Amino acid sequence: MADEVKELLQEYREGKISRREFIQKAAVLTGSLIAATSLLDSLVCPSAYAAQVDPNDAALSSGVVQFAGPAGTISGYQSKPKAAGKYPGIIVIHENRGLNDHIRDVARRLAKEGYVALAPDYLSREGGTEKVNPKGGGIANLREVAPPKVVGEDSDAAVAYLRTLPDIRGDRVGVVGFCWGGQMTFMVSTHVRGLKAAVVYYGRSPEPVELMEKIEAPVLAHYGEEDPGVNKTIPAAEEAMKKYNKSYTYKIYPGAKHAFNNDTNADRYHPEAAKEAWNRTLEFFKKQLQG
């Protein structure tokens, strides 16, 4: 039963089933609706973990920001170097769990490398991640709550906001995203004008593929070998990017699962793949944004 519960929990975290579906199926396994509810609450509460970059790092200025969007105020998390200068900007698109501590940490990692990193909360129109997803699990209906049109509009607003900052190089803005955010990164690169780099972490390719003709930025993508659902979209993307003469470089990491970069998810995290992918990401951003 333990393995079945574990698999069920992973499906919930990845947004494949809803909270109600999890409880219904777990109740069958545990024999009790109360036990199933308690199990969910105990297992998916956000757990503390050691951030790679301290939220109070003295070299960074990090915290919550708000900026204007087409449907109202958008909240986000921003991290940037304290040292005076002009820095490239990077939009960080969160996973299907919303804007959480892990994504905030990713933003700080980029800030340590000399970028102004902005992680918008793409659930802002619904009251924000804390309201929509207080338990921190995968959001099953995220594609309905934050459809591509919303993500595109709010990403436009995020880029426009970054370009108003005095310490930003407005002509050097990129985007990176993970899981659902990886798919949205690929999609955003077809929509937002003026992007100079896009990095996709295990995200599905845009549909229809004809959208890729609108991509301006070179795209770097990372995929896990054990992620067939996402990987089946690679050939069409590769063909379309060649057809439209776009730059598309990718690697499939042996033995890695979906979400292999997320060091808060022990079932998915693949240290070797994550390290190599991150180094390749930094090299890519340095070439495209810091030149």
Whether the bond into 254 is cis, omega within 30 of 0: no
User: Could you identify the residue written with the tokens 């229809």?
Assistant: 208
Distance CA 162, CA 153 (A): 14
Radius of gyration of the chain (CA): 19
Between the alpha carbon of residue 21 and those of residues 14, 24, 26, 33, 155, the distances in Å are 13, 5, 8, 12, 32
Calculate helix-pair angle for 148-162, 180-191, nearest 10 degrees. 70
Q: Which residues are catalytic?
A: 179, 227, 258
Distance CA 124, CA 120 (A): 8
Helices within 31-100 (DSSP H only): 33-44
The first and second tokens of residue 19, run together, are 């909270």
Spatial contact of 259 and 178, defined as CB atoms under 8 Å apart: yes
Phi, psi of 177 (to 5 degrees): -150, 160
Residue 103's identity, in one-letter code, is: I
Distance CA 74, CA 152 (A): 13
- Short-list 128, 111, 118, 152, CA closest to 282: 111
Distance CA 176, CA 172 (A): 14
Beta bridge partners of 21: none
